[in-house]
Amino acid sequence: MFLPMAMGFKRVLIANRGEIALRILRTLRDLGIEAAIIHGREDRLSLPVRLADVAMEIVRTNPLDSYLDIEAVVQAAKDLECDAVHPGYGFLAENAAFVHRLEEEGITFIGPAAEVITLLGDKIEARAAMEAAGLPTAKGSSEPISEASVAA
């Protein structure tokens, strides 16, 4: 079991929406950690936004872009005095550049290291790393495939 004092987080920014954000928020509450959240205009009345301790609107023309603007999310984390950012999944959860930006600002990314995200983003390299570690892999190619008929 994780203890908030051991983690040292006072406030975590939730960089997601809907059910994902709500689940993160509930976990933060259980751990006694304050929940901050970003949101687009369309989500301003959503349950996660209403339940968060603090919220910041990031207005973009495309509603989903509110959750994809690395600099805006990093700035929100700084402005809201967050110790960490939880991306949920999707959006910036698999973006190594986002992890690096948070590291530059001294903000913890709750998720895999940037190097792991980069490695897993390349399926050939990820497979090679798993094989090198002695982990089982599904049958497949260890080289890039240029024709669909070869994959069948």
Domains defined along the chain, listed by start: 4-116 (3.40.50.20)
Q: Is the pLDDT of residue 7 over 80?
A: no
Cα Rg of the chain (Å, integer): 18
| pLDDT tens-place string over residues 28-85 | 999 999 999 999 999 999 999 999 999 999 999 998 999 999 999 999 999 999 999 9
Q: Is the pLDDT of residue 146 over 80?
A: no
* CA–CA distance, 34 with 60 (Å, rounded to integer): 26
Q: Is the pLDDT of residue 90 over 50?
A: yes
* Residue 151, pLDDT score: 62
Mean pLDDT confidence for 118-145 = 85
What is the signed CA dihedral for 76, 110, 54, 105, rounded to 10 degrees? -30
* Residue 149, pLDDT score: 67
* CA–CA distance, 143 with 125 (Å, rounded to integer): 9
| pLDDT tens-place string over residues 91-127 | 999 999 999 999 999 999 999 999 999 998 888 888 8
* CA–CA distance, 92 with 17 (Å, rounded to integer): 12
* pTM: predicted TM-score of the whole model, two decimal places: 0.84
Give Cβ neighbours of residue 18 (< 8 Å, ≥ 6 apart): 43, 46, 48
* Residue 1, pLDDT score: 39
Among 12-16, 18-22, 116-120, where is mean pLDDT lowest?
Answer: 116-120
* Residue 2, pLDDT score: 43
* Residue 11, pLDDT score: 99
Contact of 49 with 41, CB cutoff 8 Å: no
